[in-house]
């Protein structure tokens, strides 16, 4: 395993494995025995960066979520896991009531919600401090300064380490960081967005954003990363839920455009040249690129995890990377 630093403040920054493990379906779609086996193998391989949210997986039974955090808490206790595993979670998108969703009835990002939701997450996870806490989605009904101060208060109290943002318009991230900097407060240092080798259309309507999806790491966000070297991108769904490899998992509709076949073709060519899978090439492309990207992979079996772990040691040549970058 290889490692990178997230965060810049010596008091809160952490060393994490370059491959993060997503726990979204642990404790619901993935049963506890299998979830524990995947987590055990990840830790054995040197993995130290596990991702969840307080609303995972509310859609499983029409509830409000929390199952993934609770499972991670049980795993930590049963294995004697301490600070060596960095656990990131998110708040703001937990449904206010069972049977509703984050698109129409989210808790949001008021200072009150931030404090109460973080406390519930700490209880479920069984930790004194959450290593990394994200604002999961935007809340434009709350003044941005209130959210910034609400997160900063928890950092000052020592119950939160690093702060991050997910699925926000880039201008909202920058404005929040500017407000924090002007007030001498900690701001977002880790960004979590969907990012893969295939490029999506960004004008496709979504349930959350009338202007199109803000969950993708598009050109503006990647430009922002280049300009702000202290930021790190955690790339969720890098393998598109299995769509690269499984015939029963079609490419998502927002990737249905003329550029996709060319990028798929070069992925397959490079995979054949390397004796690797397409999934492994996608991950190696992210891991070895010039931007600080941590792929966030899911796994519903140890075998799936093993495939992703092997990508950490896959080195692409400069010529292969140029072909992958240039396909369109």
Is the predicted pLDDT of residue 210 greater than 60, yes or no?
no
- The pTM assigned to this predicted structure is 0.95
**Residue 206 confidence (pLDDT):** 63
Could you tell me what percent of the chain has a pLDDT over 70? 97
Is the predicted pLDDT of residue 214 greater than 80, yes or no?
no
Lowest model confidence (mean pLDDT) among 190-199, 244-253, 313-322? 244-253
**Residue 230 confidence (pLDDT):** 94
Highest-pLDDT range among 47-56, 215-224, 246-255: 47-56
**Residue 196 confidence (pLDDT):** 97
Q: Got the DSSP string for 221-242?
A: HHHHHHH-TT-EEEEE-TTGGG
By residue count, the chain amounts to: 328
**Residue 211 confidence (pLDDT):** 61
| Comparison of pLDDT for 203 and 30, the residue scoring more | 30
Alpha carbons within 13 A on the beta-carbon side of 126: 16
**Residue 201 confidence (pLDDT):** 87
Eight-class DSSP state of 216 = B
CATH fold of 3-257+279-315, please? TIM Barrel (3.20.20)
Is the predicted pLDDT of residue 204 greater than 80, yes or no?
no
Q: How far is 272 from 270, CA to CA, in rounded Å?
A: 5
**Residue 247 confidence (pLDDT):** 86
Q: Which stretches within the chain are classed as H helix?
A: 32-44, 67-79, 111-125, 144-157, 170-182, 219-227, 260-274, 278-287, 302-311, 318-326
pLDDT digits (tens, 9 = 90+) for 228-286: 999 999 999 999 999 999 888 889 888 989 999 999 999 999 999 999 999 999 999 99
Is the predicted pLDDT of residue 104 greater than 90, yes or no?
no
Alpha carbons within 13 A on the beta-carbon side of 292: 21
What is the C-alpha radius of gyration for the chain, rounded to an integer number of angstroms? 19
Q: pLDDT class for 297, splitting at 50, 70, 90?
A: very high
**Residue 212 confidence (pLDDT):** 61
Is the predicted pLDDT of residue 199 greater than 60, yes or no?
yes
């Amino acid at each position: 395993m290889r490692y990178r630093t997230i965060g810049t403040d010596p008091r809160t920054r952490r060393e994490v494995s370059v491959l993060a493990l997503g726990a979204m379906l642990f404790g619901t779609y993935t049963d506890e025995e299998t979830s524990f086996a995947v987590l055990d193998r990840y830790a054995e391989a040197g993995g130290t960066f596990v991702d969840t949210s307080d609303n995972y997986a509310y859609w499983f039974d029409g509830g409000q979520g929390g199952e993934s955090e609770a499972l991670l808490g049980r795993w930590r206790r049963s294995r004697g896991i301490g600070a060596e595993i960095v656990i990131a979670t998110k708040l703001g998108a937990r449904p206010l009531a069972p049977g509703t969703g984050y698109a129409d009835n989210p808790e949001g990002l008021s200072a009150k919600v931030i404090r109460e939701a973080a406390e519930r997450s700490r209880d479920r996870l069984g930790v004194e401090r959450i290593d990394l806490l994200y604002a999961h989605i935007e809340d434009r009904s709350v003044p941005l300064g209130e959210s910034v101060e609400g997160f900063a208060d928890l950092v000052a109290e020592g119950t939160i380490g690093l702060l991050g943002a997910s699925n926000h318009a880039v201008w909202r991230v920058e404005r929040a960081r500017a407000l924090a900097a002007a007030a001498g407060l900690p701001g977002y240092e880790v960004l979590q967005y969907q990012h893969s080798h295939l490029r999506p259309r960004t004008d496709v309507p979504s349930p959350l954003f009338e202007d199109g999806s803000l969950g993708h790491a598009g050109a503006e966000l990647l430009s922002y990363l280049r300009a702000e070297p202290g930021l790190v991108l955690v790339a969720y769904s890098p393998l598109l839920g299995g769509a690269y490899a499984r015939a029963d998992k079609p490419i998502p509709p927002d990737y249905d455009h003329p550029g996709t076949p060319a990028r798929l073709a070069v992925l397959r060519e490079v995979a054949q040249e390397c004796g690797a899978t397409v999934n492994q090439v996608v991950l190696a492309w992210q891991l070895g690129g010039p931007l600080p990207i941590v792929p966030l992979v899911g796994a519903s079996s140890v075998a799936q995890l093993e495939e992703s772990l092997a990508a950490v040691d896959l080195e692409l040549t400069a010529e292969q990377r140029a072909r992958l970058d240039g396909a369109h």
